[in-house]
Every structure is written in structure tokens, then in C-alpha cells.
Amino acid sequence: MRAWLILALAMSIPAPAADAQKDKARLLLRQFGCGSCHRIPEVADAVGDVGPSLEKFGARTYIAGILPNNNDNLVRFIRDPRSVDPRTAMPDLGVGEVHAREMAAYLRSLR
């Protein structure tokens, strides 16, 4: 019964839900001004050359040259960059946990 339910749920999540998550993440990336320092594919005006490009970020081995690239580490870096690299030019932007997770999922999907 439970298996059926999961299967039905899985099938009922159409592609647009994934698109909606991506749209939301792109909106957040714009709202936190990430694009003024980084290039980010498919995010309007994200053509900054201050920090490194985030193209293909999902394939990257390290975050900020220091942490292995996984979800939790990326959330931590987005929320509190100086806790990872005290000298980084990337400021603390006051990103909440939920928003950080949504942006991290999008960035890690870029290949």
C-alpha cells in the first residue's frame, strides 16, 4: 500500500515542479545579489567577475578551494562564508537555512 502511495506520488510530481524549484532558486540568487560577483548560468544579470564563475558548479570538487563540494558544506558556505575562509571577500549576506538549501540545490545541479 505504502509502495503504491510512493509510486503514485513520484509519478504525480511532473517536471514543472522541478522547474518551479529552479525558478525559485534563480529568484533567490537574484535577490541575494549573487550575480553582481559571480557568473551563474540562466540567472538574469549574473555576469559578475569579482569571484569565480559558478558555471558547472555541480561538477566542482571544492567549495571556495577548501571544503569538499556537498550539500551541507555549500549551505554552510553560503550562510557563513567567513567560517570557512576568514579572509574571503565574500560577505555574510544573512541567508536563512531554507533559502541556502534551495540555492545550493540549484548550484549543485549545474553541470
Partner 1 sequence: MKKALVVIGALLVAGVVAMAGLIYSGVYDVSALEQHLAPTYHVLDVAMKRSVKARAKDIVVPPLEDAALIARGRARFEEHCAQCHGAPGIAPQAFALGFAPAAANLVATGELWPARDIYWVVRHGLKMSGMPAWEFRMPDEDLWATVAFVKRLPKLSAADYAAMKGDASPAAEGAHPVDPERGRLAIQQYSCVTCHTIPGIVGANAPVGPSLAHLGARKIIGGHLPNTPANLVAFLREPRKYKPDGAMPDLGVTERDARDMAAWLGLQR
Contact footprint for partner 1 (CB under 8 A): 39, 49-53, 55-56, 59-62, 64-66, 84-85, 87-90
Nearest approach in angstroms of CB 87 to partner 1 is 5
Euclidean distance between CA atoms 53 and 16, whole angstroms: 27
Nearer to partner 1 by C-beta: 33 or 51?
Answer: 51
Tell me which residue of 42, 54, 43 sits closest to 90, measured CA to CA: 54
Contact 53, 36 (CB under 8 A): no
Euclidean distance between CA atoms 20 and 93, whole angstroms: 24
Nearer to partner 1 by C-beta: 38 or 101?
Answer: 38
Nearest approach in angstroms of CB 13 to partner 1 is 29
Nearer to partner 1 by C-beta: 47 or 98?
Answer: 47
